[in-house]
Structure 1
Amino acid sequence: MKDSVYPQKILLTGAAGGLGQVAARHLGRMLRRGDLAGLRMADINPMEEVEGAEIVQTPISERDVIFDLVEDMDAVIHLSGISGESDWASLIPSNLAATAHLWDAAFAHGTDRILFASSNHAVGMYPVEQRIDDTAAPRPDSRYGLTKAFGEQLGALYAVKTPVRSFCMRIGSCFAQVTARRHLKTFQSHADFLRMIETGLTADYRHEVVYGISDNDDSFWDNRNALRLGYTPRDKPQDFLAEEIDQTEHRLQGGEFPDLPLSRD
């Protein structure tokens, strides 16, 4: 299911993060080949220079800042935000307000689509014995997971009420290596992450939820919806094993997150 037009101008948020750097290098190569007309990269932290890209170092929780960043962009890859459990004082501006402002900005500026870095922690309270798919209702395992569930529902709402499309990626364990037993169920290689990004940029959809995993028949997650949209993972977690593997077993899919207490802010 490929769309007819590849986005020519892309905004990448969270470009200084681990996955942000992976995406930035890939998009930079596309820019140098002439496959993109423009690449804007934003993060609160310093970013690697990418030839031809516009680099904007700024906090993106402010509404006016986000509206400026989204202007003239055809697509947004939204990787920005706190990537683990935290308190509401930190999560509200970076994971909730910034995401809400982003969708408003995309609607205001006529941006076609947003690729949203959701997380497996949006569904982390499902038991490990239960296999779920894209239709599984959110069961967040943390405040962090709840912010990702919010982003998914935000995308669903705007896909119905505005022209903005949303591609929500429930990313599993996207690392260079498999370092824990749990990763055998949740791993996504960097190369497959980029393949998923390409699917989100090119597929024809309104609002979709997919799982960020590699080629793994034994995963917690049935990812046929991603395959239907054209995602073609090529890597298997067994090919990325580290020398030492954490053998901890967990009762719920979110790993250690479901057992984290809700501290008082």
Structure 2
Amino acid sequence: MIDPHTDRVLITGAAGEIGKALRSGLRAEWRHLRLTDIRPIPDLAANEEAVIADIGDRPALERMMQGVTALVHMTGAPAEHDLEMLFRVNARGLFDMFEAARLAGVRRIVFASSNHAFGCYPIEEPVTPAHPARPDSLYGVFKVLGETMLRYYFDRHDIRSVSLRIGTYRRLPIDQRSLATWLSPRDVVQLVERSLRHPDPGCLVANGYSANTRIKVRDPNWDFLGYRPVDNAEDHVEMLRGMGVDVDGAWEWPEHGGAFARMPERPARA
């Protein structure tokens, strides 16, 4: 278990939407929060310190990791970026961050993976974290890489970790698919906190959703973590219906990854 009163936690991507939610939800209990992002991090509390750095700056990563017990790695390039950016941030940067953590003696890593790590499974199949990965995009491929790297760091270096296959993180659900995949701000805080406080998660993969009525996965490892989501996308069905979203018809996408699984990619060379 990571002790919120004595252990320093480093949160990457702290200026992003999930990072903001984590700061708001954790700062009251966690006494030593170190925050990093390439963008400014405003309104620091007394128990927060900020390090502005690029994930490609390996010496900066090694410096910021000093004295850190747990890493919450939320930095990532979104799926719409090209291969070069995805590789720089979500592959090379990911390795540099994890390796800096190892060299500094970090004991726990919580990683923002994605449900796009299994997005090519048919929606009728209730996927569990025990299923083999079936990424639906290069973005998903690099998330699987992160999960695999954490298995290596567990087996070789005894670093405990939780990879969170985060679904649709928004303040409110946004479409039909998010009625199954929504993760609310207060639920993401609870999920990360449970991942930090668990006495021994081993090398765990867990789904990152709220308690949605229309959830399409099974055995998400929530009981093991002690995660009890409190929000449900179904509470916002009328809002979506009023926006013209079809919440009553057949499921729109045939795979768990939604549109990702069928997006056109660069054509093969002739």
The 5 A counterparts of 1:236-247 are: 236-241=232-237, 242=239, 243-244=242-243, 246-247=245-246
CA displacement, residues 123-177 of structure 1 (integer Å, 9 cap, x when unaligned)? 1101111101110111111111111010011111111110211100000112111
Are residues 1:12 and 2:11 paired?
Answer: yes
CA displacement, residues 197-235 of structure 1 (integer Å, 9 cap, x when unaligned)? 111111121100000111135312114412222111111
| Conserved? CA contact 2:123–2:216, under 8 Å | yes
In structure 2, how many angstroms separate the alpha carbons of the residues matched to 1:137 and 1:232?
25
Are residues 1:220 and 2:216 paired?
Answer: yes
| Conserved? CA contact 2:79–2:86, under 8 Å | no
Alignment match, 1:28: 27
Alignment match, 2:113: 118
In structure 2, how many angstroms separate the alpha carbons of the residues matched to 1:174 and 1:108?
31
Out of 207, 222, 227, which is 1:231 matched to? 227
SS of residue in 2 equivalent to 1:46: coil
Are residues 1:209 and 2:205 paired?
Answer: yes
Are residues 1:105 and 2:96 paired?
Answer: no
SS of residue in 1 equivalent to 2:112: strand
In structure 1, how many angstroms separate the alpha carbons of the residues matched to 2:107 and 2:16?
24
109-118 vs 39-48, greater mean Cα deviation: 39-48
C-alpha change, 1:14 and 1:58, in structure 2 (3 Å) is same
* Superposition TM-score, scaled by structure 2 size: 0.90
C-alpha change, 1:245 and 1:104, in structure 2 (3 Å) is farther
SS of residue in 2 equivalent to 1:179: coil
Alignment match, 1:169: 164
Out of 33, 37, 45, which is 2:39 matched to? 45
Give 1:43 shift: 0.7
Q: State the identity as a percent.
A: 31
SS of residue in 2 equivalent to 1:29: coil
C-alpha change, 1:92 and 1:224, in structure 2 (3 Å) is closer
Give 1:57 shift: 1.6
In structure 2, how many angstroms separate the alpha carbons of the residues matched to 1:253 and 1:226?
19
Alignment match, 1:260: 263
CA displacement, residues 72-105 of structure 1 (integer Å, 9 cap, x when unaligned)? 1011110001122322210111111111112211
SS of residue in 2 equivalent to 1:56: strand
In structure 2, how many angstroms separate the alpha carbons of the residues matched to 1:245 and 1:146?
33
Give 1:64 shift: 1.6
210-219 vs 15-24, greater mean Cα deviation: 210-219
In structure 2, how many angstroms separate the alpha carbons of the residues matched to 1:234 and 1:149?
28
Give 1:42 shift: 0.7
What is the root-mean-square deviation of aligned Cα atoms in Å?
1.8
SS of residue in 1 equivalent to 2:226: coil
C-alpha change, 1:182 and 1:89, in structure 2 (3 Å) is same
64-73 vs 246-255, greater mean Cα deviation: 246-255
* Superposition TM-score, scaled by structure 1 size: 0.91
In structure 2, how many angstroms separate the alpha carbons of the residues matched to 1:72 and 1:264?
47
Q: Which runs of 5 or more structure 1 residues have no equivalent in the other structure?
A: none
In structure 2, how many angstroms separate the alpha carbons of the residues matched to 1:65 and 1:51?
22
In structure 1, how many angstroms separate the alpha carbons of the residues matched to 2:244 and 2:54?
36
SS of residue in 2 equivalent to 1:127: coil
| Conserved? CA contact 1:87–1:143, under 8 Å | no
Give 1:4 shift: 7.2
